[in-house]
Amino acid sequence: VGVVPAGSDLLSAAKVVAGHVTGFLQLACQVLPEIAGPTFALDRQRHQYNAGRIIDFYDQCGCSGPAKVIYLVNLDLFEPVFTHVFGESRMGGRVALVSVHRLMPTEPAQPPHWGLERVAKVALHELGHLFALTHCDDTGCLMHFAGDSGVLDTIPLLFCRYCRQSLEEALIRYCRLPRSRV
């Protein structure tokens, strides 16, 4: 797994995400060199950035490198059916997108590590989708859908036992893929 800071000031968030991927899933995860933010995906009517377009772009441009890549951005992302999204990925895909934009605390009383914990939760959720996990009804599970940061804050940093099981099975299947496809 690779984590790419796509934009400036995202290095510490990238390190936190990489630490969580390694710590929670025992997967090798490295922070890759910083690249410019995907500002090409600006939708001029909405003044937001189209998450699907960004994923398509990164999907096409990186055939080599890590099997799964999480791109971190600091942009207000949307999908056509949602007002905003924290992250985006395609089921079983290679590329996930996570934005710190709506996750970092806005009030001075809230310490920054709250924001970083939210970023880690969204990244693990999107990585779950990359390993073909669907949304979970369990409100105590990282695969539960969180549309706003209030809901996200009530979700613990844990996969429920069913999602954990599916994830472990996916990882076993995945590691057995022929080398050329990994």
Among 73, 141, 146, 167, binds Zn ion (CB under 5 A): 141
CA 38 to CA 54: how far, in whole Å?
Answer: 7
Four-point Cα dihedral 140, 75, 23, 162, nearest 10 = 30
Residue 168 lies near Zn ion (rule: CB under 5 A): no
69 versus 142: smaller Cβ distance to Zn ion: 142
- Site size for Zn ion (CB under 5 A): 6
Note if 34 is an active site residue. no
CA 73 to CA 43: how far, in whole Å?
Answer: 16
CA 30 to CA 172: how far, in whole Å?
Answer: 20
Using CB under 5 A as the binding rule, the residues of this chain from 110 to 139 that contact Zn ion are: 136, 138
Residue 146 lies near Zn ion (rule: CB under 5 A): no
Residue 143 lies near Zn ion (rule: CB under 5 A): yes
120's torsion region: left (phi>0), alpha (psi -120 to 50) or beta? Answer: alpha
Strand-by-strand arrangement of the 2-5 sheet: 30-31, 2-5, 69-73, 95-99, 87-89
Among 120, 160, 166, 167, binds Zn ion (CB under 5 A): 160
10 versus 136: smaller Cβ distance to Zn ion: 136
Nearest to 96 by CA among 135, 58, 61: 58
15 versus 102: smaller Cβ distance to Zn ion: 102
The residue count of the chain comes to 182
- List the catalytic residue out of 79, 117, 126, 168: 126
- Only one of the segments 15-23, 67-75, 105-113, 154-162 lies at the binding site for Zn ion (rule: CB under 5 A); that segment is 154-162
Q: For the CB of residue 163, give the shortest distance to Zn ion in the complex, in Å.
A: 3
The values of phi and psi at residue 99, to 5°, are -110, 135
100 versus 155: smaller Cβ distance to Zn ion: 155
Return the active site residues.
Answer: 126
Contact footprint for Zn ion (CB under 5 A): 136, 138, 141, 143, 160, 163
